Every structure is written in structure tokens, then in C-alpha cells.
Amino acid sequence: MAIVLYARKSVERENSISCETQLEYCRSVIKPDERDEKIITFVDNGFSGGNVNRDGFQKMIKMVRQGKVKKVIVYKLDRISRSLSDFVNILQEFKEHKVEFVSSQESFDTSSPYGEMIVKLLMVFAEFERTSIINRVTQAYAHRSEMGFYMGGRQPYGFELVPTVIHNVKTKKLNPIPAEVEQVRYIFEVYAQESISLRRLLDILVAEGKQPLNGSSWTTAKLSTLLKNPIYVKADSDVYDYYDRHGVQMVTDVSLFTGEYGAQLYGHTKHDPDAPDWSDMKLVLLTHYGIVDSDIWLKCQRKLEKNRQIGNSVSNPTSWLAGKVVCEKCGHTMTTIKGKINKSGEIRRYFNCTGRSHKKTCTGPNVTIYAEDLENMVYECISEKLADLKEMNRTTRKGDTAEVNELKLKIKAIEKSEKQLLDTMLAGGFNDDLLALANQKATQLKRDRMALYERIEDLKSREDETDVVVNLAKSWRTADYKRKKSVAMIMIHKIVISEDGSTKVLWNI
């Protein structure tokens, strides 16, 4: 049986007591009749007391569970833990294994019921102090975010941090770096195109030599993170709606989402494979100007969200061109097969001749026909076909766009007022006379809201009239797998792949 001396120090500070000094204090309380006992020391230097995931501490606990420890001595109680729940569990475990616990500075040990009770009381205050510090930091963070301060984290590509003063407080704000901002806009504009995947975007950037100007290199993960960041968007009412529908807590009032400033999203996401929970996250407008139009930014968000369902080559090995692709050499159809994982960690689908795999009568094309590449090419061909049927000029004046956003903001403000009025009425906050006035107010708010909706529809009707063909072209741009397959069945007779990999599309129209 051994006596264990345990020391912990969270960070190196000039005035804080070292682990060596803590151990000296621990040795000073060893009783004379214990001097011949085996003494073992465990030290955790640079570890917080907020949790028990410490190397030295875990080794000590392992010895306790093995029944090799008689007594544990520490400099002060909070060296073991600053969490009451953790400490009580540790104390209970010591008790189960008949291990005494002694603090050299509080002069208590658990060999008596009185000492055990006092130790628990002291730990209550230790946890209270720790919780108070956390709350103060959290409240300060929340207050600074509500004032529009940049809340830190990795500096976003395209910006630099420059000193500024906001509400008489010295802080830093994001300042655009022109050359990097130009790259960011290009990335959003390219990815917003329907046929561009993250991998295709990466290939385009590499081929065009548009690597990051900070000396790093693009990856699909980096591009995905950049595209999701609201730092870049010119946040307007549509961006407000997007995050509001996702359950994000909106810190900044809706009236300020005028399409000028960028925003910051912070907090923790509860990940769910099918529906991520953003309820613990907050969105706040910052003081820098956004650099990406909201319609392009939102297109990118919708594409990123659909990545799990549309074009997922791992979970969906088929192609919406299935049944239309044939081998010119043998005339048999070509089906999609999942390939092996490549150097980039992707599993790419490719078309395989059934005359080669099933009939053993054909060697198939001499080159690999990747499904994604063929789909992208045919997708563009169909887009051109639909556009060629009838060209329409659809323009929306910038003045109308700004007015529509302003009208949406007013609608949001009215909806907020309606909710507040309804909550007050349901709480019984009005007498009969005031209730009648409240009903009149509610009716007027509804009329105002409907009038704003009518004005938005009127502005939209100023666009040149379109016909079914244009609507089909628009639907094609947002078509899912099932619709793409249906359109391909109607428009395409077959797609012929030659031996050298060249492609010929035979159309029904």
C-alpha cells in the first residue's frame, strides 16, 4: 500500500505555486508513523481542473482501483477537481477503496465524517467560483457580439483584421483584401452553377492557377467551409429568413438586414445526419460590408445542403443517364460502376460496357468514362436545348430588387409585432376595452402585411412575361435526380460512346 502525493497546475504564471512546491507541502503532512510507507508522486502540469482527463490523475485512479493506495494527499482541494460532481464521484471512489484523502492547506481529511462534510462544502464554493467565471466570460462574449464586434476564430480568407473603435470600445474589424476578395467572389459564382460540384470547383481553381494568395492550397473541405460562411454575404431579408427557418437565434433585429453588411454565425451545432440542429447557434450582423450577393450565396447553401442526397456517388451508384448510354463498338448499353477510392479520398462512378463485363464480346472504350463528367456535359447540352427553344429576356430592375427587400423587411417587422400582440392577448394583459383596440390593431397589421405582399407581387409582375418553355428551363436548373432522369428519357434517344471516348448525343427533339 502506498501514499500518493498529487500536484496539478493549470498554466504557467509568475505568482502561481509550482507543482514541486505543492509536493513539498504534501510531504509536510505525512505522519511520523507513515514515514516508512512507499511514497508515489503524480504530477499534471498545464492541465485544467475542469475535467479529469489528465494523465497523472488517471494513473493515480488506476492504482486506487487496484487497491494499491492507502492515502492521497494534495496541496489544496481544487487540485483534484473544480467540478463538484466530479469531486463527489472521486471522493466516493476513494471511500469504496478505503483510501483516505487529505488536503495540506485546508487541514481536513476524510478519515472523519466531519472532514468529509467540510470538504464537500468547500467544493461547492470552488465550483461556484468556476461557474461564475464561465458565466462572466459568456455574458461578455454575448454582449460584444450583440454590439457587432468580430468574435474571433480563424481569420476568414479575403479579410484582414484592422484596429477600430465601436461604441467607444477598442476592438478589431474585418477589412477586405481586394485580390483575395476577387477570388472569393469567383468561387461563389462558379459553385452557384448547377453543374459544378465541390470537386469540379477544385479542379477549375487548380487548372486556372487560382490558388490561395496566402501560400496554402485549396481542398474540398476548405472550399466547403468558405462557401458556408455568412461573413461573405450581403445579408438581407432572404438571408434572415434562411437562418430563421433553420432555428438559429437571430441576435440582430430584422430591420438591419438591408443587404449591406456581412454576418457571423457562432455557437455549437448539434449534428444529425438528416437534420442538423442549429438551435444553439446565433447570427449577428458585423460592421464590414458583405462581398457576395445574397442570391448567389443562398444558391450555394442550397447546393451544399443537397450534397447528401443529390449526386452522392457513394450511396447512389446509378446515373440519371442510365439506359441511354451505349457502346458504339458493340451496341450494348453501358452501366455505372463505383470505382476504388482515389488519392483525394473520393469514390468516382464510371460507365462500363455490358458487352465487356457480361457478354465478354467487347473490349469497351479505351478510356475511362466518368459518370459525373458525362452527366455534366449532357446537363449543359439539355440546358442549351431548352434555351434554344425560345429565348426570353427576363430582367429585374435594381431599384425593384431593393424595394422588394425593403418590403420583406417591413413584413418581418409586422409579423414580429403580430406575435408580440398575440402573446400579450393570450396572457390576459388587456381589459375588455383594450382587448377591442388590440383586435383592431391586429386586423390593421394583417391588412398592412397583405398590402405589402401585393406590392411585392406587383413588382415581380413587371418582369417580361414568360411562357412554359422558360419555366421548364428554370425547373431544369433546380431539377433533382428523378426529374433529370425523366427529362433525359423524353429528350434523348441515346448517347453513343466511341472507342476513343468521344461522345455523340442523339436527340428525340
- The CATH topology of domain 159-306 is Hect, E3 ligase catalytic domain fold (3.90.1750)
Residue 153 pLDDT level (bands cut at 50, 70, 90): low
Asked if 257 and 226 count as a contact pair (C-beta separation under 8 A), the reply is: no
Assigned CATH topology for domain 2-137: Rossmann fold (3.40.50)
Tell me what pLDDT residue 310 has. Answer: 40
Q: What is the pLDDT of residues 439-454, one digit of tens each?
A: 777 778 778 888 887 7
The residue with greater pLDDT, 42 or 432, is 42
Residue 277, pLDDT > 80, answer no
Higher model confidence: residue 467 or residue 178? 178
Confidence at residue 382, expressed as pLDDT on a 0 to 100 scale: 86
Largest CA distance in the chain: 101
Residue 168 — very low, low, confident or very high, per pLDDT cuts 50/70/90?
confident
> Could you tell me the pTM of the whole model?
0.44
**CA gyration radius, the chain:** 33
Higher pLDDT, 121 or 161: 161
Contact between 133 and 151 under an 8 Å Cβ cutoff? The reply is no
- With 60 as the cut, is the pLDDT of residue 470 above it? no
Can you give the pLDDT at residue 395?
Answer: 46
**β-bridge mates for residue 497, sequence order:** 327, 503
- Please give the helix or strand (H or E) that residue 326 lies within, else none: strand 325-327
Instruction: Tell me what the mean pLDDT of segment 461-466 comes to.
Output: 48
Q: List CB contacts of 112: < 8 A, sequence separation 6 or more.
A: none
> What gap in Å lies between CA 120 and CA 106, rounded to an integer?
12
Q: What is the pLDDT at residue 425?
A: 67
User: What's the mean pLDDT when you consider all of the chain?
Assistant: 80
The DSSP annotation for 409-445 comes to HHHHHHHHHHHHHHHHHHTT---HHHHHHHHHHHHHH
Among 417, 145, 138, 166, residue whose Cα is nearest residue 283: 145
Structure confidence at residue 231 (pLDDT)? 93
**Segment (H or E) for 220:** helix 220-228
Domain boundaries, the chain: 2-137, 159-306, 325-392+473-507, 398-463
pLDDT band at 99 (very low <50, low <70, confident <90, very high): very high
- Is the pLDDT higher at 214 or at 392? 214
Supply the pLDDT for residue 343. 58
- CB burial string 425-457: b at 16+ within 10 A, e below: beeeeeeeeeeeebeeeeeebeebbeebeeebe
> What is the reported pLDDT for 178?
94
pLDDT at 226: 95
Pick the range with the lowest mean pLDDT from 56-70, 218-232, 271-285, 365-379.
271-285
- Range among 108-117, 176-185, 330-339 rated most confident: 176-185
CB contact at 8 A, 186 and 201: no
**Other C-beta atoms lying within 10 Å of the C-beta of residue 40:** 15
The rounded distance, in Å, linking the Cα atoms of 487 and 467 is: 18
Q: Which residues contact 236 (CB under 8 A, 6 or more apart)?
A: 257, 258, 259, 294, 405, 408
DSSP assignment letter at 256: G
3-state secondary structure of 462: coil
